Amino acid sequence: MNDINLPKVVDLDSLTISLNTHLGLPNVNVNTAQFVPMVTNEDNRKRDTIKNLNLCGLYPNDDKCVAYTYGSDPIQVIDCHLPKGPYAPIVVLLIHGGFWCGKFNRSIEDAVGNDLLRFKIVVCNLDYRSIGNGGDYPNTFYDVANGTDLIRTIAQEHGFNSNRVIVVGHSAGGQLGGYITGRFRLMPNQPGYSTNPLRPIAFVSQAGLNNMWDACDQANETGSGAAISFLGGTYQMYPERYVLSSLAASSNLSVKAQYPSQYLPLEVPIQAITGAVDITVPISQTITFAEQARNAGDNCTRVIVEATGWYYKILASVDRYFASSRNALRRQWSSPKIAMRFIIVNIFFWCLIYIHIVVFYKNYPNNYLPQKKVLMARFLVFIC
């Protein structure tokens, strides 16, 4: 298993190329158009109300977005976001997190989905019933299974390949994404069983709850007992529910011996991503899952993002942060008063930097020349 330590800010282009290489996929030609920050339009505002969740909110990078329902509840829906063709050879299924709580929905994944569209990747953003919203066990499992299988029908309508789906799940979505990826191992009496389930070609877990046994034992450290609430009780009460829901076996050796993982190996490439200072989903969730997956024979890479917690923006980058800032500033130039304030603040800022450089040059000996050159180069870049 490869371990990768990433800085807090990660460039999506590099991460995508690394992911494609790890998965054995061809690298996608990146659309060099400037990143467009997320815009909350009227459709998105409507969709964020529980009564209108069957609306598909357009992303800025969308060519087309269509919402498909797989049940009667407004939240039983999957959005298909289509970039301008030709499409990339892969499809990404996003499954949102939020500890299976009804107050969260698929809009959590909007920024990620919008960014993926730049790579010509078809994005399917899945929603599901959750705690307090009809998602009591086992309904959520049926929802994600039915929603995922619907991708085949969606693919036929829009001409993309449903046999090239990569599942990306965050937090609780990482748990559900693992269930979807390993669904081919279900027994006929288990929720979501199918003789012909959709088989993803890869699985990416972002701070995923991939060890529900440990989540039960660490209830106070993992979403205040969210796993217990989701499954309706502890594993001492309902061990079969934890067998169904957990990719990894318990870290408790006696429990592990009695209830080994039903899913491993998943038989697809895996990336298990977590934040180094995550206190919401313990980092041990990712570590134990990755180790067990590797020991079972899976090709699993563990990615640790330094100085980052649970709700990290794994796809953020410095360049796109400043691109978003520049776009916001352009909108403000229409007001001369705001523009003048902006100019004055910038002049003051650059003067402080210049004073800092002068003091640095005068007070440090010549053996600090390399550092001086780097600092001056940075100053020139900022001025440009």
Give the pLDDT of residue 353: 62
Q: What residue segments make up the domains of the chain, in order of their start? A: 2-317, 333-383
- 267 φ/ψ sector (left φ>0, alpha ψ -120 to 50, else beta): left
By C-alpha distance, which of 228, 224, 219 is closest to 136?
228
Which two structure tokens, joined as six digits, stand for 55? Answer: 């609306």
- In 3D space, the residue among 191, 13, 38, 175 whose CA is nearest the CA of residue 96 turns out to be 175
Amino acid at 295: N
In angstroms, rounded to a whole number, what is the distance separating the alpha carbons of residues 65 and 287?
A: 36
Phi and psi torsions of 367, nearest 5°: -70, -5
Q: How far apart are CA 261 and CA 249, in angstroms?
A: 5
Predicted pLDDT of residue 323: 33
Residue 46: count of CB within 10 angstroms of its CB: 13
Position 102 scores a pLDDT of 80
Tokens representing 346 are 């910038």
Where the chain has pLDDT below 50, the residues are 5-53, 308-339, 364-372, 375-376, 378-379, 381-384
* Residue 208 one-letter amino acid: G
> DSSP strand E in the chain: where?
2-6, 64-69, 77-82, 91-95, 122-126, 165-170, 202-206, 270-275, 300-305
pLDDT at 366: 47
Q: Which fold has domain 2-317?
A: Rossmann fold (3.40.50)
Angstrom distances, CA of residue 305 to CA of 70, 215, 316, 321: 35, 21, 12, 18
Q: Is the pTM of this model over 0.75?
A: no
